[in-house]
């Protein structure tokens, strides 16, 4: 049951990112009335794009924990390591999609580092 649930979350993430990009985001970005933040719409589209795909990353992190739970009891260290990785990847998204102008990457990297440190102590 747990492997099936994790697999469904993995597929849901793939579908969410692919279909959302293809049928929602691309069409949304063709509109001429997007807010012009920081001098244009590039920041707006980048922010919307990374926020959209972050949900997929979170689902995959949850799927990783479910898979771990399917073979052994979850330990605090494993949970912290998975969420540290999720936070690290979450920080890479605004760096890539907004070229670092959306400062959430700073917070996500701090969270990733703190969770990684905590996992070493667990």
Predicted pLDDT at 100: 95
What pLDDT score was predicted for residue 40? 87
* HEC profile of 8-23: HHHHHHHHHHHHHHHH
Residue 38 has pLDDT above 90, yes or no: no
pLDDT at 67: 96
- pLDDT of 27 above 90: yes
User: What is the sign of the dihedral through the CA atoms of 53, 58, 59 and 65?
Assistant: positive
Q: Are 52 and 20 in contact (CB under 8 A)?
A: yes
Q: Which of 4-13, 32-41, 47-56 has the lowest mean pLDDT?
A: 32-41
Give tens-digit pLDDT for 77-98.
999 999 999 999 999 999 999 9
Residue 21 — pLDDT band, cuts 50, 70, 90? very high
Euclidean distance between CA atoms 52 and 26, whole angstroms: 12
Selection from 23, 1, 9 nearest residue 57 by Cα: 9
Nearest in space to 29 (alpha carbons), one of 18, 21, 39: 21
User: Are 102 and 43 in contact, with CB atoms under 8 Å apart?
Assistant: yes
Q: What is the pTM of this model?
A: 0.90
Distance of alpha carbon 3 from alpha carbon 99, whole angstroms: 36
d(CA 27, CA 59): 24
Q: At residue 68, does pLDDT exceed 90?
A: yes
Over residues 43-62, the pLDDT tens digits come to 999 999 999 999 999 999 99
């Amino acid at each position: 049951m747990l492997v099936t649930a994790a697999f469904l979350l993995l597929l849901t993430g793939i579908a969410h990112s692919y279909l959302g990009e293809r049928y929602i985001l691309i069409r949304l970005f063709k509109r001429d009335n997007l807010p012009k933040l920081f001098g244009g719409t590039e920041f707006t589209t980048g922010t919307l794009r990374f926020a959209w795909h972050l949900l997929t990353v979170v689902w995959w992190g949850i799927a990783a924990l479910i898979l771990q739970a399917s073979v052994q009891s979850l330990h605090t260290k494993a949970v912290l390591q998975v969420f540290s990785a999720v936070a690290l990847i979450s920080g890479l998204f605004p760096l890539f999609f907004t070229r670092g102008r959306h400062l959430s990457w700073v917070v996500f990297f701090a969270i990733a580092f703190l969770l990684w440190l905590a996992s070493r102590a667990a």
